[in-house]
Structure 1
Amino acid sequence: MDITTALFYIFSAILLGASFRVITARSTVHSALFLILAFFTASCIWMLLKAEFLAITLVLVYIGAVMVLFLFVVMMLDINSDNVREGFWKHLPLGALVGTLIALEMAAVLMGGFRLSEAPQTTEAALKLGNTKMLGISIYTQYLYPLQIAAVLLLVAIIAAIALTLRKRKDSRSQDPSEQVKVQKADRLRIIKVAPTVEAAPAAESAPETGAKA
């Protein structure tokens, strides 16, 4: 067994343990921290499989952005998870059975990928271009239509989320640009002449008095 295979099994064991602790930890903050550990070990496994771009993306996007948001929301709301976790051990056997079936199905489909000794050899052209550039070429040439379909689905999901959460409040104030454009100068400013309430002293009488005081 070489060092790569040993590291693969070590990171896989840590990943499985962290994933199990995500659903069994009593504190939601601890669950989020174990999820960060699971993401980090998954990125390490991708680094062993020479998928550097996916590993860096997982660290930057999920650990650096998504999990920070999760921790912020969990610590701000301070959710009491005791009521949510009631009946966990009651449904554990059924959940373990479903999880085992899913794992066996994935192993049956991806069994060829689990054999590290039979990994395909990298060509010289791929080594010169690099992993990230080869991934970009594959996505935008061979998988262009699936990429566009996925982009449209994500756009529809974003629009649906905005439509579901959009609520009109009675106390909200908004401006109509079309009404603002129609406004004339006379509608914005109006000059009104107001008669003075106190009469000013005549200028001729005030001049001698100021000269005498001087």
Structure 2
Amino acid sequence: MGFEGVLFYFFSAVLVTAAVAVITLRNPVHAALFLVVAFVAMAAHWIMLEAEFLGILLVLVYVGAVMVLFLFVVMMLDINISRLREGFVTLLPIGLVVAVGMMLVMAKVVGSSAFQVASPERAAADYSNTRALGELLYTEYVLAFEVAAVILLVAIIAAIVLTLRRRPDTKYVDPSEQVKVRREDRVRLVKMQAEKKQDRS
């Protein structure tokens, strides 16, 4: 086993450990931070597979933007951690059943003949995986790309709605009332006689 194999098993161990910590930790902030670690380990796998664009994109978009937004939402919602701890024990059997079912499905899919492929050949030096990804994304998978965009838009709107709170001590302005304002209601013209300069001589 060469150096590349050592890196693969190292990042795989980090990824599995971080993923287990995400679903077992009761503090949502700590779980989100371990999810960042899992994303970084997954990005290392992408880079080892010569998909540098996907690896960098995973770090920039998910770690740099989505996880920061998620942390802000978690902190602004003021989640009651004690209530989460109460529900963790009661829902543990259901979670174990779902986890075992997902593991069986994943084992069935990965063990199928579609995943039994030979090791891929090294790409040429002038090969651009960014261009190849763009051609596939906007031609063959354009429908899935649009659906993912709509789902992300709904998630953003849901995050805004969840953090929107009415505070009685805050003044709100109705935009419809602002539009109806006329000049006569705000400006008053006053006519004044011009002052004459007095002759002091």
Fold match (TM-score > 0.5) = yes
Please name the residue that 1:141 is paired with.
Answer: 139
Rounded to whole Å, the distance in 2 between the matches of 1:173 and 1:20 is: 48
1:5 is displaced (CA, Å) by 3.2
Deviation by residue 1:102-133 (Cα, 9 ceiling, x = unmatched): 12212321336766x82232554xx5231111
2:121 corresponds to: 121
Query: Following the alignment from structure 2 to structure 1, what is the Cα–Cα distance between the partners of residues 166 and 93?
Result: 45
- The amino acid that maps onto 1:50 is E
1:34-183 counterparts in 2 under 5 A? 34-75=34-75, 78-111=78-111, 118-122=118-122, 124=124, 127-151=125-149, 153-154=150-151, 157=154, 161=158, 171-174=172-175
Deviates more, 1:14-23 or 1:1-10: 1-10
| Separation of aligned partners in 1, 2:90 and 2:46 | 35
CA distance in 2 between counterparts of 1:95 and 1:187 reads 63
Query: Bigger CA drift: 161-170 or 89-98?
Result: 161-170
**Larger of the two Rg values belongs to structure:** 1
Task: Write the deviation string for residues 41-93 of structure 1: whole angstroms up to 9, x where unpaired.
Answer: 11112222222211111111111122223333444555331211213233323
Instruction: Give the conservation status (yes or no) of the 8 Å contact 2:18–2:37.
Output: yes
Distance 1:66 1:147, change over 3 A: closer
Please report the TM-score for the alignment, with normalisation by the length of structure 1.
0.68
Q: How many residues are aligned here?
A: 196
Give the residue type in structure 1 aligned to 2:138. Answer: Y
Q: Give the 3 Å change call, closer, same or farther, for CA 93–55 of structure 1 in structure 2.
A: same
Distance 1:68 1:155 in 2: 15
- Kept in 2, the 8 Å contact 1:113–1:119? The answer is no
Which letter maps to 1:140?
Answer: Y
Change (3 A) 1:34 1:145: closer
**TM-score, normalised via structure 2 length:** 0.71
* Partner SS, residue 90 of structure 2: coil
- Indicate how the Cα distance of structure 1 residues 195 and 96 shifts in structure 2: closer, same or farther if over 3 A, else same: same
Would the aligned equivalents of 1:44 and 1:55 in 2 still touch at CA under 8 Å? Answer: yes
The answer to whether the 8 A contact 1:27-1:81 is kept is yes
The alpha-carbon distance between structure 1 residues 137 and 129, as it changes in their structure 2 partners (threshold 3 A), is: farther
Distance 2:20 2:63 in 1: 18
Question: Partners of 1:87 and 1:155 in 2: how far apart?
Answer: 28
Distance, in Å, in 2 between the alignment partners of 1:156 and 1:71 is 18
SS at match of 1:83: helix
